[in-house]
Chain A
Amino acid sequence: MIFLIPVAVLMGAVGLAAFFWSLRSGQYEDLEGAAHRILIDDEEDRT
Chain B
Amino acid sequence: MAVIALKEDAGCPSGLAPAEREESRADPSAFVRQGADGRDVLELMVQGAKCAGCIRKIEGGLLALPGVTDARLNLSTGRLSVSWAHGAVAAREITDALGRLGYASAAFDPEAARQSADEEGRRLLRYMAVAGFAAMNIMMFSVPVWSGGGEMGEGTRTLLHWVSAFIAIPASLYAAQPFFRSAWKALSARHANMDVPISLAVFLTLGISVAETIQQGEHAYFDGITMLLFFLLVGRYLDHRLRERARTAARDLLALQSVSASRIEPDGTIRAIPARDIGVGDRLSLAAGDRAPVDCVVEEGVSELDRSMLTGETMPQPAGVGAVVHAGVVNLTQRLVVKATARVQDSAMAQLARLIEIGEQGRARFVRLADKAAALYVPVVHSLAALTFLGWLFGPSLLRLAGFEVADVGVRIALMNAIAVLIITCPCALGLAVPAVQVVATGRLFKRGVLVKSGDALERLAETDVVVFDKTGTLTLGKPTLISRVETETLQAAASLARTSRHPLSRALTEAAGPGVPQASARELPGEGIEADVNGEKWRLGRRSFAAPTAPDANDGAVELWFSRGSGVAARFVFMDALRSDASETVRALKQRGIAVELLSGDRPTAVAAAALAAGIEAWKGGVSPADKTARLAALKASGRRSLMVGDGLNDAAALAAAHASASPGTALEASQAASDLVIQGAGLLALVEAIDVAKAAKARALENLRFSALYNLIAAPTAAAGLLTPLIAALAMSGSSLIVTLNALRLQLRGGPWTS
Contacts and interface: CB of A to CB of B under 8 A. Distances in A.
Interface of A: 1, 5, 8-9, 12-13, 15-16, 19-20, 23, 28-33, 36-40, 43, 47
B136 A39 contact: no
B73 A33 contact: yes
B74 A36 contact: no
B77 interface: yes
Interface residues of B, number: 26
A16 B230 CA distance: 14
Contacts of B60: 43
A23 B125 contact: yes
Nearest to B166: A9
Interface string B38-51: 00000000000001
A37 B49 CA distance: 13
Contacts of A40: 52, 55-56
A12 B76 contact: no
B89 to A, nearest CB: 21
A20 B126 contact: yes
B52 A32 contact: no
B375 interface: no
Nearest to A40: B56
Given A20-B126, A40-B52, A32 B75 contact: yes
B74 A29 contact: yes
A33 B76 contact: yes
B249 interface: no
Given A19-B129, A20-B129, A40-B55, A30 B137 contact: no
Given A5-B163, A33-B76, A36-B75, A16 B130 contact: yes
Given A5-B141, A19-B129, A33-B75, 12 more contacts: A1-B159, A8-B137, A12-B133, A15-B133, A20-B129, A30-B74, A31-B76, A33-B76, A36-B52, A40-B55, A40-B56, A47-B1
Contacts of A13: 133
B278 to A, nearest CB: 34
B607 to A, nearest CB: 41
Interface centre among A16, A39, A40, A47 (most CB of B within 10 A): A16
Contacts of B159: 1
B136 A30 contact: no
Interface string B385-421: 0000000000000000000000000000000000000
Given A19-B129, A23-B125, A9 B163 contact: yes
Contacts of B163: 5, 9
B722 to A, nearest CB: 35
Contacts of B129: 16, 19-20, 23
Contacts of B51: 36
Interface string B65-100: 000000001111100000000000000000000000
Contacts of A8: 137, 140
A36 B55 contact: yes
B133 A37 contact: no
Nearest to A34: B75
A20 B122 CA distance: 10
Contacts of A5: 141, 163
Contacts of B77: 30
B409 to A, nearest CB: 35
A8 B167 CA distance: 12
Contact of B133 (A16, A30, A47): A16
A23 B73 CA distance: 19
A13 B129 CA distance: 11
A35 to B, nearest CB: 8
A30 B126 contact: no
Residue of B52, B141, B163 most packed against chain A (CB within 10 A): B52
Contact of A32 (B76, B130, B137): B76
A33 to B, nearest CB: 4
Given A20-B129, A23-B122, A36-B51, A12 B75 contact: no
Nearest to B77: A30
A20 B123 CA distance: 11
B133 A33 contact: no
Given A30-B76, A30-B77, A37 B55 contact: yes
Contacts of A37: 52, 55
Contact of A33 (B74, B125, B140, B166): B74
A47 to B, nearest CB: 7
A15 B167 CA distance: 14
A30 B75 contact: yes
A9 B133 CA distance: 10
A43 B159 CA distance: 60
Nearest to B138: A12
Nearest to A8: B140
Given A20-B129, A30-B75, A43-B60, A12 B136 contact: yes
A29 B136 CA distance: 26
A9 B164 CA distance: 10
B145 to A, nearest CB: 13
Nearest to B54: A36
A16 B167 CA distance: 13
Contacts of B1: 47
Given A39-B52, A43-B60, A9 B167 contact: yes
B532 to A, nearest CB: 46
14 contacts: A1-B159, A9-B163, A12-B134, A19-B133, A23-B125, A28-B125, A29-B74, A30-B75, A33-B55, A33-B73, A33-B76, A36-B75, A39-B52, A40-B55
B139 to A, nearest CB: 11
A35 B549 CA distance: 62
B56 to A, nearest CB: 5
Nearest to A31: B76
A27 B75 CA distance: 14
A43 to B, nearest CB: 7
Nearest to A46: B1
A9 B52 contact: no
A23 B119 CA distance: 12
A2 to B, nearest CB: 10
Contacts of A33: 55, 73-76
Interface string B130-174: 100110110011000000000000000001000100110000000
A32 B515 CA distance: 37
A9 B140 CA distance: 10
Contacts of A36: 51-52, 55, 75
A5 to B, nearest CB: 6
Contacts of B73: 33
Contacts of B122: 23
Contacts of A47: 1
B137 A9 contact: yes
Contacts of A32: 75-76
A8 B140 CA distance: 9
Interface string B712-754: 0000000000000000000000000000000000000000000
Contacts of B140: 8
A34 to B, nearest CB: 8
A28 B134 CA distance: 22
Nearest to A33: B75
Nearest to B134: A12
